[in-house]
Structure 1
């Protein structure tokens, strides 16, 4: 084509791929001639059956992942590296762990750059975890979440309990057996929300379980997060900020029993209450119920005593009233009997026959009605005078009363 200079292959300078790879290999060898200590995070790890371990290392900042590289632990170094890490931390290497490793850098024309891990510093990983843990605590404190759960009160009689644990975990089995076979015979409803309880997936898994509890139609009295112990690194997932914040903001009291002896984690710090072991948590729930049961029993006893005392008082008052009524009735009966006796004695004395027998005449009007007074009589009235030996039928000639009789007596004299 016009305007384009024809450049022959003989005049162009170039190198082949192998030469380029050789140059890179030499440059890498010169730049990193001996093993160096490298800080990185394990993005993934794969243990092969034939003995080699393959890893992907990464480094991140606020913007995300900024560097990646493949690494390997060859079979000849496997026990020295993995065994030392397991011995010092109690855990295996896993994704999400930040490590300080000694690597030998090499470059191969077919496989590219390789980081061969020949040693590891477990203390660095543990130290980094402590730094991250303190940063999480500081952030939660600043956001006012450290004591939020502690303002919630557990029900006096906890019955509906949501448990977050691995369904095959020994700790959950111990808790369930200890709680449901309690010596008092208290009954509880336990609903298990299964979740991963260690590793990089645990925080998200536990938060999903919390969401499941909120989405249920049951008003749970408490949420119990259980795990049957583990190494410090195994339990480091409970220092995760997102998990701790979710626990702190949860509207139901959250109790943790992660099973550690030496230290407690951020999840414990933000929880309403934490204990060391699942069986200790079962005892706490049982003791709470026993305390409420004791209060109810004491109240029932006080009520019974008060009722019995009131009943006895009422019985005493009733007996007193009964005695008073009996006394009053007896007094009235006695008075009535005395009055009746009086009249019984008086009636014979008033019998006309008795008067006649005593020589006392009885005066009656024309109708036979006894007359006790001259007052009211008139001349011409018929009267009869009854005597012991007969009767006189008379007619009133005149009536003299009081002074008239006295005057008549004077005249006669």
Structure 2
């Protein structure tokens, strides 16, 4: 081995690299990048700065830090100028210096920020999506859906075997109140380019049997913030906003926010928090049910106590009422009896008057009958004198032809056989002329 190729230790190589990159040309340089995985620990702000290709893929990445002595001022400055906290998903302009540590490698130390620089692509895209949904009139549609009571049947959209889904199931089924839930996983890819399409397919599968579910939970257990960019999708946001069942979203850590958080009926930080929220709703429903049971029990007890008091009152009255009623009726009977005794003389007088009227009516009836009888006898005598038999007895006769009485000679023609009726007997003759 020649002297020119004498090997270096890793430490020597790291020092050589540090000497090459930590030069005046790499100090206090203004750079533009998108922030990812922003986290504050011990007052220091750690993040990743990335550059992306037009298709959204990351083409370069660097670790960066804002020391606590500077971060307090810069975060306040950024909030005052932009109205939002310094967080992931923002495209920012930062003044940085390259630092190279033998153990931790290269990082960028941030010393200043330009708040006037445009908001990052993720936030801009999110605002455009929300504005579009607002124009379509569906932005608040899912958020305004009523939650069923109780919430027990949950359709979960998540990646099979994901830690977030496991945390959700563990928290849900090991709740202290032993509430029972029915859960089914509708699998989907929760990061990368396939995430929106597979989540949409899962939503369609849930919609096909929506009558079997009370709500939908879309869950993802955190991870890199840059992986959440797939959720900033118009079609996915529209599908959640227009879904017929309430949707609860828990797809990251406390610092992670996506457009779905703005359109879903409920947004929580993590899958575990989603389970906690559902358990809390079940506990609230159970507590309300117990309150109603107590109210019903109290009302029934009051009714029973009132009925007992009313029964006691009735019992005491029943002991007195028969005697009182008998005395009242006895008095009433005495009054009637006294009235009836006074009516005796009146009844006798009325009886005498009725007897007199009956005698007068009987005499008047007899007189009327005698008068009518004499009149009838006179009419009978008159009828007897005028009868055909009486006329015949006086010498008259009745001539009939063909059974009809002849009253005019013109009624006869030669050859007619006539019958003559006398007081005693008849004679037949023939008309010649």
Number of matched pairs = 228
Within 5 Å, give how 1:73-222 maps onto structure 2: 88=48, 96-97=56-57, 99=59, 127-216=120-209, 218-222=211-215
User: Alignment partner of 2:48: what SS?
Assistant: helix
Contact 2:143–2:264 under 8 Å retained in 1: yes
Partner of 1:256: 249
Partner of 1:233: 226
Task: Sort the Cα spacing of 1:151 and 1:308 in 2 relative to 1 into closer, same or farther, 3 A.
Answer: same
How far 1:130 moved relative to its partner?
3.1
How far 1:257 moved relative to its partner?
0.3
Contact 1:90–1:231 under 8 Å retained in 2: no
Stretches of structure 1 that go unaligned for 5 or more consecutive residues are 1-86, 102-123, 336-413
Contact 2:51–2:58 under 8 Å retained in 1: no
Within 5 Å, give how 1:199-348 maps onto structure 2: 199-216=192-209, 218-329=211-322
Contact 2:50–2:58 under 8 Å retained in 1: no
Task: Sort the Cα spacing of 1:223 and 1:89 in 2 relative to 1 into closer, same or farther, 3 A.
Answer: farther
Determine the C-alpha separation between the residues in 2 that align with 1:318 and 1:233. Answer: 77
User: Alignment partner of 1:300: what SS?
Assistant: helix
Determine the C-alpha separation between the residues in 1 that align with 2:294 and 2:130. Answer: 48
CA deviation digits over 1:113-171, x for unaligned, max 9? xxxxxxxxxxx9x9333332332222222222321111101111011110000111111
Partner of 2:39: none
User: Alignment partner of 2:157: what SS?
Assistant: strand
Determine the C-alpha separation between the residues in 2 that align with 1:296 and 1:148. Answer: 29
How far 1:241 moved relative to its partner?
1.0
How far 1:328 moved relative to its partner?
3.8
Task: Sort the Cα spacing of 1:167 and 1:290 in 2 relative to 1 into closer, same or farther, 3 A.
Answer: same
Determine the C-alpha separation between the residues in 2 that align with 1:217 and 1:276. Answer: 25
User: Alignment partner of 2:225: what SS?
Assistant: coil
Determine the C-alpha separation between the residues in 2 that align with 1:177 and 1:311. Answer: 46
CA deviation digits over 1:221-255, x for unaligned, max 9? 10000011022211111111111111111111111
User: Alignment partner of 2:218: what SS?
Assistant: strand
Determine the C-alpha separation between the residues in 2 that align with 1:236 and 1:221. Answer: 28
CA deviation digits over 1:41-100, x for unaligned, max 9? xxxxxxxxxxxxxxxxxxxxxxxxxxxxxxxxxxxxxxxxxxxxxx72699999742657
Task: Sort the Cα spacing of 1:135 and 1:333 in 2 relative to 1 into closer, same or farther, 3 A.
Answer: closer
Query: Considering only aligned residues, what root-mean-square deviation do their CA atoms show, in Å?
Result: 3.2
How far 1:198 moved relative to its partner?
0.4
How far 1:176 moved relative to its partner?
0.6
User: Alignment partner of 1:164: what SS?
Assistant: strand
How far 1:333 moved relative to its partner?
9.9
Within 5 Å, give how 1:352-363 maps onto structure 2: none
Determine the C-alpha separation between the residues in 1 that align with 2:177 and 2:234. Answer: 39
Determine the C-alpha separation between the residues in 2 that align with 1:239 and 1:202. Answer: 11
User: Structure 1 residue runs of 4+, over 6 Å off?
Assistant: 90-95, 330-335
Task: Sort the Cα spacing of 1:140 and 1:330 in 2 relative to 1 into closer, same or farther, 3 A.
Answer: same
Structure of greater Rg:
2
Task: Sort the Cα spacing of 1:94 and 1:163 in 2 relative to 1 into closer, same or farther, 3 A.
Answer: farther
Give the TM-score taking structure 1 as reference length.
0.50
Give the TM-score taking structure 2 as reference length.
0.48
How far 1:182 moved relative to its partner?
0.8
